[in-house]
A and B are shown apart, each in its own frame.
Chain A
């Protein structure tokens, strides 16, 4: 804990509180909007719901005041807003489908949100310094890979909607890939900060590309093979792309060598092409991507088409929450929650949502710039970039930029594993940002750091 001195940089915790209250106000307005649009009456749950949201997020805010007072002030309000809006959409879809009792998704999501926030607060409290995680580099790898491959274990692995990315224990089902994402980023960061000098300096030139020594390549190849394994055996294109993309990005940041990007792209393209040739489900995805309106594609699935039609109907301004028909699309509360929002809050609303993600990622990258240790930088970059890439894969998939894959939109989509993972991710970023923004004892160093490292994009 910092001591009180005459010179004390601002923690911005009050800004966070104001933004947090604003975020909750927006979410409650949206909730009210849905109630008025669908039932034409004031939704009676509103007060209970608003109170719950307030307790959770302000509780988290207080934890930050207590244990990470210099943490970034924007991340928590953004995460709260996205999480809250996701809940509103899931509630709205519950109403549209006429779900009742145990089939209601919104209460479940609310419980998962509470659990996720509690775990995130736990991360902040227990983890006093992110550098502690470096000790668990290889543990993280083992755990991460284990979780990634867990769905393949007979008995607990479940095949849902054509992808084997779920595990089920009793009535509970869980997508361990989401948590594996964070564990693998921790592993990449720990491993790369250890070997970055070797990777960027030792090695020999081959055809103009610097290749590392075979013994340094081992863990990397394992990671790559795991991601290919995910693609082939779990039929999960999205996770595979995500892991590999984050891995290449972190490798590039660690080594500052652009050749890694070239190698990564090459490997990825070759892998995708081979997968396209070998696997029918990949070919189907590509067909649905390139020509979703053809009869052949419609015979496979009209999910993408329905999502597109929903977004188109939303147009610029949207139908208004509760006034569209997102329930016409399959999985409108998970994989297709972005088209659901596009339909009801329009292009303008969707832009606002996307900008929230941009802002969140930008704060993460700024944290990476500001933090002083290599591990922290790599960790922050990895976590932020994974969030950015996941948004790209999800939104790009439903808007036909890339083939549709089965990933969830962070915070918005229905799903406990996704919420747990993303709140923990934000907790880690908050922890690192506290480290990055905390004043150094030496005021000269502090001045230098704040002058140089607060811009994400430096215009020269």
Chain B
């Protein structure tokens, strides 16, 4: 019987080898993936046992970990309460890290990131308690505060960029919430806060600036149409184009009227500059027809439409769908199925301000260790050349006239030349339109580009119109940055 016993020994060896492989698979090969699974209480506990990095704006924390006496050694607090809720997101024992930088940069803040590997080894050798990295943001606190105050109790979003670098100077989304209510160690009150947060019809957890339901851009999209027209070489700022009271759309029974049902100029003709200044629907509709849907889509793509960006939070890509002729006319004035994020419209404005170059937007200026020494600094990154410097200069001049004498006069600031474009986006029949305003300033040497959207016309309701509702908000943000 010894022969089968020896064979059986092989089978036993095989069984145990399988176990060696399976345990290796779990504890070594796929261990990291299992650690990072949502709901892994051990990882969560581990991250609580070390000091999580702070999130800083201009050196002062907007999210920081404070030592406690309970089992979870640190509790996360948000000193500015609601002001930065969508920027920081939340850090909850029950619901994990999410909603903003807490989620997007979790591995850095918790100190688990591979970028910190060398430092972790050093900490291990020197016996230092490891801690997470802190993040210094690009946010200008004055701009953030001004945007928050100007938006008031209206739903909507404000994004401000430095057009030269892409640094995000302000990012506000209303309504807001207080993330401290989710980071408490009283798990019952956290559950209640979470429930009421998710039941709120205003959906405060959503960052409308980058990742809400996309908005129709309304007339602010005429900037893209104008950019496409000027880039085609067939038009200049002074080109005479048709601007009748009503534009016949081919292949379609609906026609496109101007807002006031009057022609945009004598004899139904107007210049490109004037058309933008008074936001002439028929003139831009005609441009859309003439240029074609593909040209509009191509121009939009150069401004960053369709790109998957991370700032480091994921930005929902803005879209221009494939268009036939009548759709192209409607898309040219920001209707039909064109959908954008406020950040995308800020990028269009910033590109025009920055001589046609689109800079990649970013929120984290630098990463710091627990001594606040900088360990990684963000470098501005060029995303694309949307338009030539000449076209950008022309659009710059055209946008200045919008604020000087057109639809955007409420954005005027004494002593500072502001360039802008209004938008009033009809999105539901009978409902109040979204009010838009995009701008940059100073026009001669732009230092800030802003996009503002106020949902459903804000407090003005059906009376809403971009220049009246959104432009003052943009003005407040620009003033906060540029006025000493």
Contact = CB atoms under 8 A, between A and B. Distances in A.
A354 interface: yes
A357 B16 contact: yes
B22 A347 contact: no
A399 B23 contact: yes
Nearest to A324: B42
A328 interface: yes
Interface stretch (A60-68, A166-174, A313-321, A415-423): A313-321
Nearest to B16: A358
A369 B6 contact: yes
B22 A401 contact: yes
Interface stretch (B7-15, B88-96, B399-407, B419-427): B7-15
Interface string B54-94: 00000000000000000000000000000000000000000
A385 B16 contact: no
B416 interface: no
B411 to A, nearest CB: 50
A119 to B, nearest CB: 27
B28 interface: yes
A272 B11 CA distance: 21
B41 to A, nearest CB: 6
A309 B46 CA distance: 13
Interface in A415-455: 453
B12 A385 contact: yes
Contact of B16 (A314, A377, A391): A391
Contact of A312 (B4, B9, B16, B34): B34
B22 A316 contact: no
B483 interface: no
B253 interface: no
Given A308-B34, A316-B28, A351 B20 contact: yes
A325 B42 contact: yes
Which of the four size classes fits the interface of chain A? 35 or more
Contact of A385 (B1, B8, B35, B45): B8
Contact of B27 (A249, A315, A391): A315
Contacts, number: 131
Contacts of B16: 354, 357-358, 388, 391-392
Contacts of A362: 9, 12
B40 A369 contact: no
Interface string B27-57: 1101111110100111101100000000000
A310 interface: yes
A191 B18 CA distance: 32
Which secondary structure dominates where chain B touches chain A? helix
Interface stretch (A34-42, A71-79, A252-260): A252-260
A365 B6 CA distance: 8
A328 B41 contact: yes
Contacts of A399: 19, 22-23, 25-26
B5 interface: yes
Contacts of A392: 15-16, 18-19
Contacts of B24: 347
Contacts of A186: none
- B3, B8, B13, B45, most chain A CB atoms within 10 A: B8
A253 B22 CA distance: 28
B19 A252 contact: no
Given A354-B23, A361-B12, A365-B12, A253 B4 contact: yes
Contacts of B9: 362, 365, 456-457
B2 interface: yes
A328 B42 contact: yes
Given A354-B23, A358-B12, 12 more contacts: A252-B8, A256-B4, A308-B26, A312-B26, A312-B27, A325-B45, A342-B23, A342-B26, A350-B23, A385-B12, A401-B22, A457-B9
Interface of A: 249, 252-254, 256, 293, 308-316, 324-325, 328, 342, 346-347, 350-351, 354, 357-358, 361-362, 365, 368-369, 374, 377-378, 381, 384-385, 388-389, 391-392, 395-396, 399-401, 453, 456-458
Query: Closest 5 CB pairs between A and B?
Result: A312-B34, A399-B22, A312-B31, A347-B27, A392-B15
